[in-house]
Chain A
Amino acid sequence: MPSLFLLEVKNYMALVPGKLFQLGTMIMFFIVILVSLWRSKTNLPKVKIMPPLEAFKEAVGRAAELNRPVIFTPGWGGGNTQSIDADLLAGSVLLTEVVNQTARAGSDLHVLVGNPNTIPILEGAVKTGYIMAGHLDEYSPDIVQFSTPELYSYSAWVAGEMRRLNCGANFMLGQHWMESLIFAEAGLEIGAFQVASSAMASQVPYFLATCDYVFIGPEIYAASAVVSQDKTQLGSLLGQDVLTIIILVLSIVGVVLATAGVTWLTNLMKV
């Protein structure tokens, strides 16, 4: 068997034509991310100020001033059919920051969950937030509430709670799908200060129209890296930036060459 394998390697070991540039791109991805991860072990990158993240304090402060509670929803995100995904993990990291702020301001917090599988993660995040704020005595398991895993029952319940509690600040961070609009419309009606995120491009416009601050698409991952101060996350953020800059530079070079009528770069990309 091994000798057969070696024979095959000898005979057929060849790169598929037309994929050389793709291979180079792939190797570049790995090198850039690996180097950034390695570099961030000793030297954490500074991340830009993200207005939505800065607005957490303002939102919670305003709610506390008006003596209105704070609501956090991680979104339905497939109810109990889906497993845990990256958006929800990022949302739960941001939940710790929300809890931290509300604990300091002394507001009431309600975390309304639609997916029973995510309850342990969110409870853990709430606890971590109280520890961060130094108010672990205020933690109670009732903060994370769950009613039903059905999408529209969940949406109706959340919208109903928002109106009933007359919440002052409304954080919608996590996997928001169709329910985004229903939550945001209810929050808008009662005049809550709203901060939202959705990784689905089609849901972002609703949030942009209805919320005070929105994490646009991938910004939520950056925000969660900032809040967690995790070396892997921040390192990979640095790597993403390097990749972005490489692509920007390539696009300038490509456009200049195309304007000059030189086609070698376009041809190179087809290799």
Chain B
Amino acid sequence: MNPNWSLIVPVLLTIGIYTLLVKETKIYRFIEHLFVGTTMGYTLVVAIRTINTTGVAQVAAGNYFYLLAFVLGILIFARFFGTTYSWLNRYPVSVLVGSAIGVTFRGLPEQTFISQLRATFLPLIGAADPMTSFNNIVIFVSFFFSLLYFSYTITNRPGRLGKIPNIGRYFLMLYFGALYGNVIIQRAAMFIPRIQFLILDFLRL
């Protein structure tokens, strides 16, 4: 065993955080405030660098009207100055929200609705082999009833479709079950590297 002592700080931090599993201690709170602080500080540095690479570089390239964007950008901090001025930040926010909504919305019809619908238009009978036909039927049925579940007003009045929309819940449960089963990979994948770090990088076993 030949521990790599230069890694002692992250090792202590790692072990300190795992004390939360037993009890919330002062050590844990210290560590959390420490690394949240360093993360926030990092973000501030990135913000300044990014203002340089996007904004200042634009102005340096001769597009002086982008100075107006600097004014709007500074207005985003208006909410720190009390309720009297906080509404000023709605102007930069409205530019952000407006353009984001525009570019997202214009892509949605093709990316979500048309492409996904086209992929659902599958031949139910007469496909290449019976198994494909069966699969196509299952895809269509699960799609149809799951979507029907998410209707709130028209189809759900008494006497219209009765309990049929609730069939969708069974397919949705299958979807969420698959999601749950798959997410275990993520949880394990977040945990294993920490143990690898302790054993392989620090203890060098």
Contact = CB atoms under 8 A, between A and B. Distances in A.
Contacts of B121: 251, 254-255, 257-258, 265-266
Interface in A35-88: 45-49, 83
B150 A269 contact: no
Contacts of B144: 248, 251-252
Nearest to A257: B121
B72 interface: no
A134 interface: no
| Dominant SS among interface residues on chain A | helix
Chain B contact residues: helix, strand, loop or mixed: helix
Contacts of B118: 254, 266, 269
Interface of B: 20, 24, 28-29, 32-33, 36, 93, 105-106, 109-110, 113-114, 117-118, 120-126, 140, 143-144, 147-148, 150-157, 165, 172-173, 176-177, 179-180, 183
Interface of A: 19, 21-22, 25-26, 29, 45-49, 83, 150, 152-153, 156-157, 160, 201-202, 204-206, 208-209, 216-219, 222, 237-238, 240-242, 244-245, 247-248, 250-252, 254-255, 257-259, 261, 265-266, 269
A26 B106 contact: yes
Contacts of A240: 152
B24 to A, nearest CB: 5
Given A156-B20, A244-B147, A247-B117, A22 B109 contact: yes
Residue of B36, B152, B165, B172 with most chain A CB atoms under a 10 A cut-off: B152
Nearest to B148: A248
A208 B114 contact: no
Given A46-B153, A242-B154, A204 B179 contact: yes
Contacts of B106: 26
Nearest to B173: A208
Contact of A46 (B114, B157, B172, B177): B157
A153 B150 contact: no
A201 B33 CA distance: 29
Contacts of B29: 153
B180 A22 contact: no
B103 to A, nearest CB: 13
Contact of B24 (A160, A217, A259, A265): A160
Contacts of B180: 205-206, 208-209
A117 B4 CA distance: 43
A204 to B, nearest CB: 6
20 contacts: A22-B114, A26-B109, A83-B93, A150-B33, A150-B36, A153-B24, A156-B24, A156-B28, A157-B24, A201-B179, A202-B183, A205-B177, A208-B180, A217-B150, A238-B153, A238-B154, A247-B117, A258-B123, A261-B126, A265-B121
A245 B153 CA distance: 11
A202 B179 contact: yes
A1 B172 CA distance: 56
Among the interface residues B28, B122, B151, B153, which one has the most CB atoms of the partner chain A within 10 A? B153
A241 B114 contact: no
A222 B150 CA distance: 10
Given A205-B176, A254-B121, 17 more contacts: A25-B114, A45-B153, A157-B24, A204-B176, A205-B177, A209-B180, A238-B154, A241-B151, A245-B154, A248-B144, A251-B143, A258-B123, A258-B124, A259-B123, A259-B125, A259-B126, A266-B118
